[in-house]
Amino acid sequence: MFYREAGDFNTSYAEDQQTFPIKFDRYRYYVVLFIAIFVVPFIINDYWANSFLLPFLIYAIAAIGLNILVGYCGQVSLGTGGFMAVGAYACYKLMTAMPDVSMFIHVLLAGLITAAVGVLFGLPSLRIKGFYLAVATLAAQFFLVWLFNRVPWFYNYSASGQINAPERDTFGILITGPNTEAWATYMFCLIFTIASALVARNLTRGSVGRKWMAIRDMDIAAEIIGVNPLRAKLTAFAVSSFFIGISGALFFSIYLGAVEVGEVFGITKSFLVLFMIIIGGLGSIFGSFAGAAFLVLLPVLLKIVGVDWLGWPTDIVAHLQLVIVGGLIVVFLIAEPHGLAQLWRVAKEKLRLWPFPH
Amino acid sequence: MPEQLAFTIEVFLNGLMAGVLYALVALGFVLIYKASGIFNYAQGVMALFAAMTLVGIQNGQVPFSHLINAILGTDVHHFGWHVHSAIAIVFTVAVMVVLAVCVQRFVFRHLVGQEPIILFMATIGLAYFLEGVADLMWGSEIKSLNVCAAEGACLPQGLNMWIDETTYNAFGYGFFIDNLDIVASIVAIILVVGLVMFAQYTKQGRAMRAVADDHQAALSVGVSLNFIWILVWSLAGFVALVAGIMWGAKSGVQFSLSLIALKALPVLMLGGFTSIPGAIVGGLIIGVGEKLFEFLIGAPFLGGATENWFAYMLALLFLVFRPQGLFGEKIIERV
């Protein structure tokens, strides 16, 4: 009834190619942005920030990054945890080496460093494909975690082997360390999340993104029609690692504050982010958000239902969570390989006609 | 014999034994991959599941007892009997066959014709699912596993004294080799010979090779794909059980058992996904390579614990030069 393109006349090419061509979608997008920026910071409290909003925003960035590599370029990577660790440790080294520089710069630099590492580990993708490559990226995962565990320079020779985020501010507002306000950390992450989504969306619909998708759909055919596989694959690795590095830096400095690399950035983290994009939708920016929200909320919900309402022991709930996540992955791959994003798309198609049958 | 050289040889031998165990896990991967083109990441969790089921049946644990207690408020844990190892193994094999049928019936039958990478991700989901089910069924605490044929005839533990003494008398330096590793090597050899015989000389084995060669051609001469896939998953379940017994007896039945899948992946990349001899040779190379690297370079110069990534780096370097592995079939691509 209200969700249709009738009466919405585009008068320029720019209008014709905008991200949300339907008026209702566009307004919905503005409303979501408005609420996220101008409403949530005033009502946020520590519980909501730490149990849902911060992990959601940070995982969304990681999921966007991995989605670029897996969903758009078709190169499956299981090294996400390792690349997040690179972002975290790069951020830590920068924070301790240059205390006066703004955190914005540190996080961006951490992203750039991760991009360089990502390109290095992306080089084998030129020779090997499919799950051979997936297994090869495990090399990055194990090697990087080992490196940060064993080389004392990376954790500044601290006795515990952990890294702890020192107190840093941006424009006079404290955003890392133990004495932060919930709204400040939330806004800091939100800015990065919105920027990442915008950049990713515009990259993937431009010529770079089309080259990635050509490589994904059939790499030899893409090569024949003139896509340079070297550049396409390596840019995908670089951009993807850049986002994942940013999310790793935020995960360490803003969300956790202290990190033990094997525990936080182990292989389970790689699988978690991969599951987010499978459930959310491969090759979709919205899907990255949906998947991140889903897998961040699921444990919280299960804990509320299982432990608080039913009074079950926590270990049973934790095992049940494994069963549910694993089962969902299989169900989604069988029933809806494009994930929650596709369900959303189908719903929108239905809305266009509703309430008329044809 | 100089001390250092003897020590290196000992590390080499231990690496060889570890390699046999890696090969044992890798074998399960190769079986499924050859017959159905599925790269089964869940193989390690299957080994864990099999070992836990075996221990559970041996000790007469009630399956899902924690869950039942939590829901019904009861307090049941054990049936109160102990089952002989041989009978427990038979029951476990039966459970693995049921599992194979379920996996085939509910998961992979719906994914026929999908891209390999989708199948791979489905097996990751399957691994999580199985791990959760195993924990719910038998509890997640570390269990000790011992398989006994009769009273006093269990899987041996500890060092082999005979080798220690003989080599000490011969070279003036006693080699430390675990009894269990020797048994594992013998079992692995028997298993491989058995599997090769099965594939070469039985009707089902021939059908299995036909399916591996060409699905459609096999289908057109009357081979039931469904049956072969169930057969192959059951065989992989059996191999997982053997691997689970060996690793479980070595280091206890616990979550880390499922991580042996991660050890087997570089073995496969090195040996080629489609070759049984490749899995063996790859396993030996990785086992010896990582132990020697840790001993000669890792521990003295790099701070140790290099075993985690050495195999992957080796496989990665190797793949860049020979993408199909040592014994794999050449990859031919067409547009």
CA distance A159 to chain B (A): 16
CATH code, A241:
1.10.3470
- Calculate the average pLDDT of chain A: 87
Q: Which amino acid type is present at position A237?
A: F
Radius of gyration of chain B (CA): 21
Q: List, as ranges, residues 283-322 from A with C-beta within 8 Å of B.
A: 310-313, 315-316, 319-322
pLDDT at A171: 79
Identify all chain B residues contacting A136, using CB atoms and an 8 Å cutoff: 269, 312, 315-316, 319
Q: Which amino acid type is present at position B186?
A: I
What is the per-residue DSSP string for A321-354? HHHHHHHHHHHHHHH-TTHHHHHHHHHHHHHHHT
A54 pLDDT higher than 60? yes
- State the SS3 of B26-46: HHHHHHHHHHHCCCCCCHHHH
Shared domain for A51 and A28, answered yes or no, is: no
Q: Which two tokens stand for residue B289?
A: 């390579």
Q: Which of B13, B94, B28, B91 is nearest to B258 (CA)?
A: B28
Per-residue confidence band for A258, with pLDDT thresholds at 50, 70 and 90: confident
Shared domain for A62 and A132, answered yes or no, is: yes
Q: Which two tokens stand for residue A47?
A: 């519980």
Shared domain for A177 and A32, answered yes or no, is: no
Q: What are phi and psi of B290, to 5 degrees?
A: -70, -35
Q: Tell me, yes or no, if B132 comes closer than 8 A to chain A by beta carbon.
A: yes
pLDDT at B150: 54
10-residue block means of pLDDT along chain B (335 residues)?
74 82 81 79 88 85 76 73 81 91 87 79 90 84 70 62 69 70 82 84 86 82 87 89 83 75 80 78 85 78 74 80 72 68
Q: List, as ranges, residues 28-57 from B with C-beta within 8 Å of A.
A: 39
Domain ranges of chain B: 3-321
- Asked if residue A355 has a cis previous peptide bond (ω within 30° of 0), the answer is yes
Residue of chain A with shortest Cα separation from B306? A146
Q: CA-CA distance, A28 to A315, in Å (whole number)?
A: 40
Give, to the nearest 10 degrees, the angle between helix A207-217 and helix A229-250.
Answer: 110
Shared domain for A60 and A3, answered yes or no, is: no
Handedness of CA A91, A93, A98, A99 (dihedral sign): positive
Identify all chain A residues contacting B122, using CB atoms and an 8 Å cutoff: 329-330, 333-334
Half-sphere exposure of A263 (CA within 13 A, CB side): 8
* B3-321: CATH topology: ABC transporter involved in vitamin B12 uptake, BtuC (1.10.3470)
Shared domain for A30 and A78, answered yes or no, is: no
Per-residue confidence band for A273, with pLDDT thresholds at 50, 70 and 90: very high
pLDDT at A82: 93
A297 inside domain: yes
Structural domain count, chain A: 2
pLDDT at A46: 83
pLDDT at A146: 87
Helices (H), chain A: 13-16, 23-34, 40-43, 46-48, 54-67, 80-97, 103-122, 130-150, 182-204, 207-217, 219-224, 229-250, 261-264, 267-280, 285-302, 314-335, 339-353
Please give the distance of CA B283 from its chain centroid, rounded to a whole number: 11
Shared domain for A87 and A48, answered yes or no, is: yes
* Interacting residues of A356 by C-beta distance below 8 A, sequence separation 6+: none
- Domain range for A342 is 44-353
> CA torsion, points B167, B172, B178, B179, in degrees to nearest 10?
30
The whole-number average pLDDT for the span A35-59 is 88
Shared domain for A195 and A242, answered yes or no, is: yes
pLDDT tens figures, A320-357: 888 998 998 899 888 888 888 888 888 888 888 777 77
Shared domain for A86 and A25, answered yes or no, is: no
Q: Do B132 and A136 touch (CB under 8 A)?
A: no
Shared domain for A175 and A216, answered yes or no, is: yes
Radius of gyration of chain A (CA): 21
Residue of chain B with shortest Cα separation from A75? B117
Q: Tell me, yes or no, if B77 comes closer than 8 A to chain A by beta carbon.
A: no
CA distance A317 to chain B (A): 9
pLDDT tens figures, A81-97: 999 999 999 999 998 88
A14 inside domain: no
